[in-house]
Every structure is written in C-alpha cells, then in structure tokens.
Amino acid sequence: GHNIKELNHIVENAIEFKTKASVPEKADGRTEGSDQEKPCDLLMKLCSDIKLFHDDYSNGYGIIPIGGHYETLSLSSKSFRLWLTGRFYLQFKYVPRIQALSDSIAALEGQAQFDSPQQSVAVRLAEHEGKLYLDLGDPDWRTVEIDGQGWRIIKHSPVIFKRPGGSDALPEPVPGGSIDLLRPFINIDDEENWTLLIGWILGAFQPEGPYPILSVTGEQGSAKSTVCRFLQ
C-alpha cells in the first residue's frame, strides 16, 4: 500500500507526464512546432485532378476518376465525402478531421460555383448535337449513343450524367432484334393499339416533355399488370 503523501506524488507525476506527452495543437490542425501542411491543404491537393463545375441551379459537382472511369458526384453528397476521405487515407494513412473535410468541401463548392463553368447535368437520357445518350447505370458508367445510323455503347459520353439514389442499371443492349419481338408478350390484338404503343415507347426516349401517357385498360385477368411490367 501507499500513504496519502505517496499517492499524491504518484498523481502529480501522472498529470505532469500527460502534459509533457501531449503536444499542443494549433487551430489549423498542425501541431506546435510542426512545419507539416494542414490537412485542409492536403485535401485540396488531392482534388487537383477532378473537374469542377456547377449546374443550371448553382449546385457544385466534381467529375472524379474511379477505377479507370469517371463519375459525376455532387460535392455536397455523402458519396463525394466518402471518396475524399478514402483517398486521403490511402495517401496519408490517417483519417482527416471532420472540420478539415468540411472546410475543404466548402472551398471546392466555392470554386465550382465561381471559378468553374456552368454545365447541364442529365438523368438517364439526354440529347447532344442531334444524338441521344442513354446512361446504362452500370458500374463502369457506360452510355448508349443513338443516332440515325444505329446505336453503340461508349465509355466517355459528351453528356454529363448524374445518378440519383436508387437508380438501377439497365440491361446491356445486344445487336439485332425487332420491336415485333415484344408483341407476343403484350395482349394487344388490333394494329391501331399496337401502333399507339410503339409511339408511346418512342415518346419515352424524348429527353424533354411533353410526354405521352399510357393508359392500359381491360377486363379483370387480361394481363394488364403483366403488360405494364414488360413495358417497364
């Protein structure tokens, strides 16, 4: 055991040791006497290769390199914050403080708004120079380019797409085929309604409205739900 005097001595030494072991930290994230760069500056340097811009509604975006392709992320999104945090950790082997991360993202949003071009951002479908572009929604961010000569899958689209949460990938199209292959799965007998249905499908590929509205009617058990599922 220890008497009161010995215990006080142990406590005093413990407090003194803790004080000596801890190094005062400056408000900018550097330690006292350190010439290391601030985490905020390091974060900004890590973003030197991303393309910043703002959309028609003054929202900031970044086109970032991921796994051999490019993705468009909102600077205010959780996805961008996680990407930046992960990139920082891979480079420096520690996680930046929340404040440094928030300050860096705020600076990037300012650059995107005031020092970067304004560009339109599309969801799923867009028109550019007489061609249609359809975002497949796949992990490689590929796009289908459609024109009067046909269609092709491309890796780098001239259109900037964003993907809202919950967007699903589309099946990859294959060459050949005909719209008539759909008809056996659709309970439509007369040519007039079949023609209207084809018009509705084509209308869905308009980048901007107005859009035709499909009204499916029929008796109970006439496969209305099945028709809608196939058309979707």
Strand intervals (E) in 67-169: 69-74, 125-128, 131-135, 143-147, 150-154
Is residue 144 within 8 Å of 219, Cβ to Cβ? no
Whether 125 has a pLDDT exceeding 70, the answer reads yes
Question: End-to-end CA distance of the chain, in Å?
Answer: 79
Whole-number pLDDT of residue 4: 56
Whole-number pLDDT of residue 36: 78
Is residue 89 within 8 Å of 95, Cβ to Cβ? yes
Residues 92 and 145 in one domain: no
The mean pLDDT value for 156-175 works out to 91
The mean pLDDT value for 180-209 works out to 88
Angle 185-190-193 from CA coordinates, rounded to 5°? 80
Q: Closest by alpha carbon to 105, among 139, 141, 64, 165?
A: 64
Q: Is the peptide bond before 184 cis (omega within 30 degrees of 0)?
A: no
Lowest mean pLDDT among 14-28, 35-49, 79-93, 214-228: 14-28
Domain end position, chosen among 98, 114, 130: 114
Whether 9 has a pLDDT exceeding 60, the answer reads no
Residues 41 and 14 in one domain: no
Is residue 177 within 8 Å of 143, Cβ to Cβ? no
Residues 225 and 196 in one domain: yes
Residues 127 and 141 in one domain: yes
Biggest CA–CA distance in the chain, Å, is 103
Residues 61 and 106 in one domain: yes
Note down the domain range covering 151: 122-176
Whole-number pLDDT of residue 35: 55
* Number of alpha carbons in the 13 Å side-chain half-sphere of residue 85: 14
Residues 227 and 187 in one domain: yes
Predicted confidence (pLDDT) per residue in 206-222, tens digit: 888 888 898 888 888 77
Residues 224 and 155 in one domain: no
> How many residues make up the chain in this entry?
232
Predicted confidence (pLDDT) per residue in 49-63, tens digit: 999 999 999 999 999
Instruction: Provide the pLDDT confidence category of residue 144 given band limits of 50, 70 and 90.
Output: very high
Instruction: Provide the pLDDT confidence category of residue 20 given band limits of 50, 70 and 90.
Output: very low
Instruction: Provide the pLDDT confidence category of residue 229 given band limits of 50, 70 and 90.
Output: confident
Predicted confidence (pLDDT) per residue in 132-141, tens digit: 999 999 999 9
Tell me the sheet residues that pair with 63: 51, 72
Q: How many domains does the chain have?
A: 4
User: What letter does residue 187 receive in the DSSP assignment?
Assistant: -
Residues 98 and 43 in one domain: yes
C-alpha to C-alpha distance for 153 and 142, rounded to whole angstroms: 7
C-alpha to C-alpha distance for 212 and 224, rounded to whole angstroms: 18
The mean pLDDT value for 26-49 works out to 73
